[in-house]
């Protein structure tokens, strides 16, 4: 009995000792660690990166849209298979995109240091089934090539650093209007002024003078975005009305700047751009490729061109809360992309339609160039810069907190130096029109020489474009919007009569009547911002 009692007491003592040891090893209840702290310095959505004094905001959107009788994002059918209206064109195209934005801010003794970046993860229709187009040959690379089954691609829009008034990286040019090419439209193709919404590599400095007044000056890299073409017309004109591009390598950045007043009543901005136009050589091979004689042939002198834009926004209109009106006007000389501009590449126009004058079809051409030259005796004597001007705008109205409508439009004009009768007036190829039309006559057979009304046509590369449209949006809940947009595009070309030529396949060698063209599109979109 004594032995059993001792065993029980010993076991109890051991258990108490073990329990005490375990209790000593338990952590003392500590204050909860604050892993995420709200940063209220820079507006809603910012929080501190744990362990730092840097605030970060993550955002973006998911967008799904489809365009009927047009390209992605409401691109009018003004070129390619869509402009021809052939059997290779898609009757509708769709794109799905998720955009991710990362915005960081850090307060320093020099002011706020900011970084910003946006990447677009997206997938779209392949774009064409025509084996003769760039979308399938890969020359040049078309991003739709990456939209294979289970594929997709990433597009980079803005990536920049801001510090002490300076901006370094890929951002909107100092020359751009605050709304770029979107005064009220959904589509990415409202022309008539500059559009840098996807950004260009640049360095710029902004000075704030108080009361909403500021000024910005910067240097832009124009290589990808702000160079249309320099035509060496000694190589003639192709069947779609364009010349051989002879733009040289980059010799100078664009010099851009603006002065802006941004107050409660609205905004006014005047901006300017200086753009250097330069060519390669007088003698070139097919498609502008150099030959062994290119260096010996010399080159035309570089020429400075530029553009100026005035932009106005009027807020708080009496038509309704939040209503506004935006408009901008642009004039350019040797900087055609400042007027004929989209969020992507430089557009050229080649549209076909019906004809009632015995021709196979009607056609209209409109081609963008910063300048043209014809080398040699009787030539232009150097680069002749192209002139362009445009106006665009929108009225934006809110019916109630859930419904809104925007009415938008634009008009733009491109003009080449000289007159339509330069050749028969003895000016020959010394003017831009004279040199262009000599090349056009050579590739559009059976017609009279430049500007000669004795033949079947009068040659004139000038053109105008006009656009008009309306978009209505429904926002049933915050940050979720459904919209539908209808737009029309009009090409007013200045050729008259008819011509016999072999158009781009699958079009035949036939007689085509020169005639103005137009097209309409419908875009529907769903977008969720976050």
The conformation of residue 439, written as its DSSP 8-state character, comes to H
> Alpha-carbon distance 243 to 525, whole Å?
37
Q: What is the pLDDT of residue 14?
A: 45
User: 346 Cβ partners below 8 Å, 6+ apart?
Assistant: 227, 228, 229, 336, 337, 340, 368
- Whose tokens are 């710029």? That residue is 204
440 lies in a domain?
Answer: no
CB-CB contact of 461 with 437 (8 Å): yes
- Whose tokens are 């005639």? That residue is 515
Q: Which residues pair with 499 in a beta bridge?
A: 512
> Alpha-carbon distance 472 to 185, whole Å?
10
pTM of the model: 0.89
The whole domain housing 402 covers 64-96+183-416+461-529
> Alpha-carbon distance 399 to 405, whole Å?
8
Domains of the chain: total: 1
How is residue 75 written in tokens? 């691109």
> Alpha-carbon distance 340 to 370, whole Å?
11
Q: What is the pLDDT of residue 424?
A: 45
Q: What is the pLDDT of residue 140?
A: 52
Helix (H, G, I), strand (E, B) or coil at 20: helix
Q: What is the pLDDT of residue 125?
A: 84
10 Å CB burial of residue 278 (0-12, 13-18, 19+) is: buried
CB-CB contact of 276 with 252 (8 Å): yes
452 lies in a domain?
Answer: no
Peptide bond between residue 140 and the one before it cis (omega within 30 degrees of 0): yes
284 lies in a domain?
Answer: yes
Which one, of 432, 427, 459, 428, lies nearest residue 444 by Cα?
A: 459
> Alpha-carbon distance 145 to 454, whole Å?
48
Helix (H, G, I), strand (E, B) or coil at 491: strand
443 — phi, psi (to 5°)? -105, -5
- Between the alpha carbon of residue 324 and those of residues 35, 321, 389, 404, the distances in Å are 42, 9, 24, 12
Containing 266, the helix (H) or strand (E) segment is strand 266-277
307 lies in a domain?
Answer: yes
CB-CB contact of 178 with 269 (8 Å): yes
301 lies in a domain?
Answer: yes
> Alpha-carbon distance 385 to 304, whole Å?
9
> Alpha-carbon distance 135 to 80, whole Å?
11
> Alpha-carbon distance 415 to 339, whole Å?
12
- Between the alpha carbon of residue 20 and those of residues 27, 88, 138, 263, the distances in Å are 14, 83, 75, 71
Give the DSSP per-residue string, 286-302.
GGG---TTHHHH--PPP
Q: What is the pLDDT of residue 31?
A: 54
514 lies in a domain?
Answer: yes
CB-CB contact of 89 with 201 (8 Å): no
Number of Cβ within a 10 Å radius of residue 299? 20
User: 422 Cβ partners below 8 Å, 6+ apart?
Assistant: 428, 430, 431, 433, 434, 437, 450, 451
CB-CB contact of 63 with 526 (8 Å): yes
Instruction: Give the total residue count for the chain.
Output: 530
> Alpha-carbon distance 387 to 395, whole Å?
28
> Alpha-carbon distance 504 to 121, whole Å?
34
Q: What is the CATH number of the domain that holds 504?
A: 2.40.160
Q: Which residues pair with 482 in a beta bridge?
A: 474, 526
Which one, of 381, 351, 157, 176, lies nearest residue 270 by Cα?
A: 176
Beta strand pairing status for 200-210 and 213-220?
antiparallel
What does the pLDDT profile of the chain (530 residues) look like in tens digits?
444 445 444 544 443 344 444 444 555 555 555 568 999 999 999 999 999 999 999 999 999 999 999 998 899 999 999 999 999 999 999 999 999 999 999 999 989 999 999 999 999 987 667 777 655 554 555 677 788 888 899 999 999 999 999 999 999 999 999 999 999 999 999 999 999 999 999 999 999 999 999 999 999 999 988 999 999 999 999 989 999 999 999 999 999 999 999 999 999 999 999 999 999 999 999 889 999 999 999 999 999 999 999 999 999 999 999 999 999 999 999 999 999 999 888 899 999 999 988 899 999 999 999 999 999 988 999 999 999 999 999 999 999 999 999 999 999 999 999 876 565 444 578 899 999 988 888 777 655 333 344 445 678 999 999 999 999 999 999 999 999 999 999 999 999 888 888 889 999 999 999 999 999 999 999 999 99
How is residue 105 written in tokens? 């801010």
């Amino acid at each position: 009995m004594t032995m059993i009692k001792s065993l029980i007491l010993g076991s109890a003592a051991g258990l108490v000792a073990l329990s005490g040891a375990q209790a000593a090893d338990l952590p003392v209840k500590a204050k909860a660690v604050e892993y995420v702290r709200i940063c209220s310095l820079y507006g809603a959505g910012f929080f501190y990166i744990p362990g730092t004094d840097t605030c970060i905001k993550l955002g973006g959107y998911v967008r799904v849209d489809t365009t009927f009788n047009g390209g992605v994002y409401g691109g009018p059918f003004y070129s390619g298979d869509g402009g021809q209206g052939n059997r290779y064109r898609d009757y509708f195209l769709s794109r799905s995109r998720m955009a991710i934005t990362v915005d960081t801010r850090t307060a320093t003794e020099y002011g706020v240091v900011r970084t910003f970046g946006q990447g677009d993860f997206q997938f779209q229709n392949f774009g064409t089934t025509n084996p003769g187009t760039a979308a399938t040959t890969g020359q040049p690379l078309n991003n739709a090539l990456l939209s294979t089954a289970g594929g997709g691609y990433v597009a980079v829009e803005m990536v920049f650093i801001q510090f002490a008034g300076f901006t370094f990286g890929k951002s909107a040019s100092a020359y751009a209007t605050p709304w770029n090419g979107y005064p009220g439209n959904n589509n990415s193709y409202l022309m008539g002024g500059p559009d840098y919404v996807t950004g260009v590599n640049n360095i710029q400095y902004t000075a704030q003078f108080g009361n909403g007044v500021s000024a910005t000056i910067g240097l832009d890299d124009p290589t990808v975005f702000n160079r249309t073409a320099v035509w060496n017309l000694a190589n003639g004109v192709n069947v779609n009305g364009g010349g051989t591009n002879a733009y040289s390598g980059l010799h100078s950045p664009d010099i851009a700047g603006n002065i802006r007043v941004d107050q409660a009543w609205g905004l006014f901005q005047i901006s300017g751009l200086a753009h250097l136009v330069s060519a390669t050589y007088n003698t070139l091979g097919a498609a502008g490729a150099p030959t062994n004689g290119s260096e010996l042939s010399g080159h035309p002198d570089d020429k400075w061109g530029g553009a100026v834009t005035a932009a106005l926004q009027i807020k708080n209109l009496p038509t309704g809360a939040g209503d506004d009106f935006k408009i901008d006007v642009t004039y350019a000389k040797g900087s055609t992309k400042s007027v004929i501009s989209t969020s992507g590449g430089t557009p050229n126009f080649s549209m076909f339609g019906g004809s009632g004058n015995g021709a196979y079809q009607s056609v209209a051409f409109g081609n963008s160039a910063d300048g043209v030259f014809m080398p040699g005796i009787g030539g232009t004597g150097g680069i002749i810069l192209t002139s362009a001007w445009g106006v665009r705008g929108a009225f934006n109205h809110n019916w109630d907190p859930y419904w809104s409508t925007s009415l938008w439009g634009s008009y733009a004009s491109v003009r080449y130096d000289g007159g339509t009768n330069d050749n028969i007036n003895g000016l020959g190829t010394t003017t831009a029109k004279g040199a262009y039309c000599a090349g056009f006559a050579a590739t559009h057979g059976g017609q009279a020489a430049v500007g000669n009304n004795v033949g079947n046509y009068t040659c004139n590369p000038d053109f105008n474009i006009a656009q008009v449209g309306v978009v209505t949006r429904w926002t049933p809940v915050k940050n979720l919007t459904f919209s539908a947009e209808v737009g029309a595009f009009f090409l007013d070309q200045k050729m008259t009569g008819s011509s016999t030529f072999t158009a781009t396949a699958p079009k035949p060698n036939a007689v085509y009547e020169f005639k103005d063209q137009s097209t309409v599109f419908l875009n529907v979109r769903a977008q969720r911002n976050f």
